[in-house]
Chains A and B, each alone.
Chain A
Amino acid sequence: MNVIALSTLDLSMAAVLVIILALLSIVLRLKLASRIIIAAIRTVVQLMLIGLVLKALFATESLLWVSLLAVIMLLVAGREVMARQQRRFGGLWGYGLGTLSMFISSFTLTIYALIVVVGTDPWYTPQYAIPLLGMMLGNTMNGVALALDRLSNGAWQQRTIIEGRLMLGQDWHTAISDITRDSVRTGLIPIINAMAAAGIVSLPGMMTGQILSGTEPVEAVKYQILIMFLITAGTGFAAMLATWIGARHLFDERQRLRLERLTSNTA
């Protein structure tokens, strides 16, 4: 089965729907019209660009270019994690903490999936490597952002309790354990829910895409299961790592709570 190619006219007919939505939002004074249009234009431009990049990348099959794109994806995800936190660490830590956790978790698991599970040849075959990493990073990013936001806000709000526990001679790990446990749990809940609902409430995007492009549904399902497991593990490991390193950095070498290391993101 061949894919039915979409023409510019086809896409324009879909775009009309978004324009109608924007007009409706003006009528209803939602103050969203310009945001809808800008976001729609961004979608077109960004996806077109990545389409061209992927086309060129698939043609070259070079490890260097695959790595370069992977690093750019990581850096953008890192920035996104930082931007989503109400309170975050000042300086390089604010950016580095989430980015490092995502790097360790997503890259390791993607390479594991490519080499051990799927067995692509060469292992960095861009048709597999880039979409896999993209899905890993996208989900890991959500988990890490949620976990770190919970950690920093929790520590801020419960500083009296954390210090109260330190005073009684508890170590930093125990003094903040309620908050770290809560943070990891918060980071993991969305992906656990997604696993539980997969196939019944929602048809995952990747699987749908593969089916649309002619893959046997059962084959598409197998890939979706692989992806689900990978992103669940990846999100969990990254959330744990980010929470642990972040919690440690809330204390100094004398295990004193150092909340001044957090800066408020009032924007």
Chain B
Amino acid sequence: MTILRLEHFRVAQLEAFDLCTENEIVCLSGPSGSGKTLLLRAIADLIEHGGEAWLDDMACSRISPVKWRSLVGYLPAESAWWYDSVGEHFINRQSPYLEALNMPADSLNWQVSRCSSGERQRLALARLLQNQPRALLLDEATASLDPVSVQAVETLIKEYVQQNQATVIWVSHDAAQAKRVRQRQLEIQGNRVIEVAL
């Protein structure tokens, strides 16, 4: 069981708020520029923020940032790649998640520059999951995917949450997708993060 807890959490223009998620998928929506990405980046401790984030009994500010970021995995909308081939980004050049993401096994031998944005997005998810994060922060994880791949990603994330007792905050503009995957729904209205009753 994983509990991700935010306490008086404050970033950019957003008012401080509390949140406690426990082994579930929480969707987050709000207009462009409302601070969704900033919020996820702050939870991953990539930018300065107020308040405290907890993973179980570990306070973010008390453990090393390296450890925190491997436990709280952030998937940005645009993934970064720094080696020429895909496989060099993976431990031992292998990943157990390729099949579930509709990616061929030899995709690890591909050149990053020749992958489409959709392929990169799925490979970035596979790369993130190799850390076995306990909490996942997904930023428009399926934005550039075709419907079949969208479904594959949704299924994989749901399975991952079940099998690893993980918890997820998922930024999505797609209301239908949110309905399919969420247990709870958050929304940014103005400067406030509020929970929407389902």
Cross-chain contact A164 with B66 (CB below 8 angstroms)? no
Shortest distance between the CB of A146 and any CB in chain B (Å): 23
Considering only CB atoms and an 8 Å cut-off, how many residues of chain B contact the other chain?
22
Contact status of A166 and B69, CB under 8 A, knowing A256-B45, A256-B46: yes
In the complex, how many angstroms separate the beta carbon of B129 from the nearest chain A beta carbon? 11
Once the chains are docked, how many angstroms separate the CA of A178 from the CA of B83?
10
Most interface-central of B47, B48, B61, B66 (chain A CB within 10 A): B66
In which size bucket is the chain A interface? Answer: 10 to 19
Return chain B residues, CB-CB under 8 Å to A161. Answer: 80-82
- Segment of B7-15, B70-78, B174-182 in the binding face: B70-78
State whether B69 touches A164 (Cβ < 8 A): no
Cβ–Cβ < 8 Å partners of A167 in chain B: 44, 46, 69, 73-74, 76, 128
Question: Which of A160, A163, A169, A252 meets B66, CB within 8 Å?
Answer: A169
Which one, B44, B45, B80, contacts A160 given CB within 8 A? B80
B190 on the A face (CB < 8 A): no
- Find out whether the CB atom of B79 lies under 8 angstroms from the CB atom of A164: yes
Q: Which of A168, A170, A256 meets B128, CB within 8 Å? A: A168
A257 to chain B, nearest CB (A): 8
Q: Which residues of B contact A255 (CB under 8 A)?
A: 65-66
Q: Please give me the residue from chain B that is nearest to A170 by CB atom.
A: B66
Q: Interface digits, B32-68 against A, CB 8 Å rule (1 contact, 0 not)? A: 0000000000001111100000000000010001110
Judge whether A261 is part of the interface by a CB distance below 8 angstroms.
Answer: no
Report yes or no: A164 in contact with B82, Cβ–Cβ below 8 A.
Answer: yes
Q: A254-B45, A256-B46 are in contact. Are A169 and B67 (CB under 8 A)?
A: yes
Q: Tell me the dominant secondary structure on chain B's binding face.
A: loop
Chain A nearest CB: distance from B44 CB in Å?
A: 6
Q: Which residues of A contact B46 (CB under 8 A)?
A: 163, 166-167, 256-257
* A-B contacts besides A167-B74, A255-B66, 20 pairs, CB < 8 Å: A160-B80, A161-B80, A161-B82, A163-B80, A164-B76, A164-B80, A165-B82, A166-B46, A167-B44, A167-B73, A167-B76, A167-B128, A168-B70, A169-B66, A170-B66, A171-B66, A254-B45, A256-B45, A256-B48, A257-B46
For this complex, 22 residue pairs linking A to B, each with C-beta atoms less than 8 Å apart, are A161-B80, A163-B80, A164-B76, A164-B80, A166-B65, A166-B69, A167-B69, A167-B74, A168-B73, A168-B127, A168-B128, A168-B131, A169-B66, A169-B67, A169-B70, A178-B82, A252-B48, A254-B45, A255-B65, A256-B46, A256-B47, A256-B48
Closest to B78 in A: A160
Q: How far apart sit A221 and B79, CA to CA, in the bound complex (Å)?
A: 55
Residues in A neighbouring B82, C-beta threshold 8 A: 161, 164-165, 178
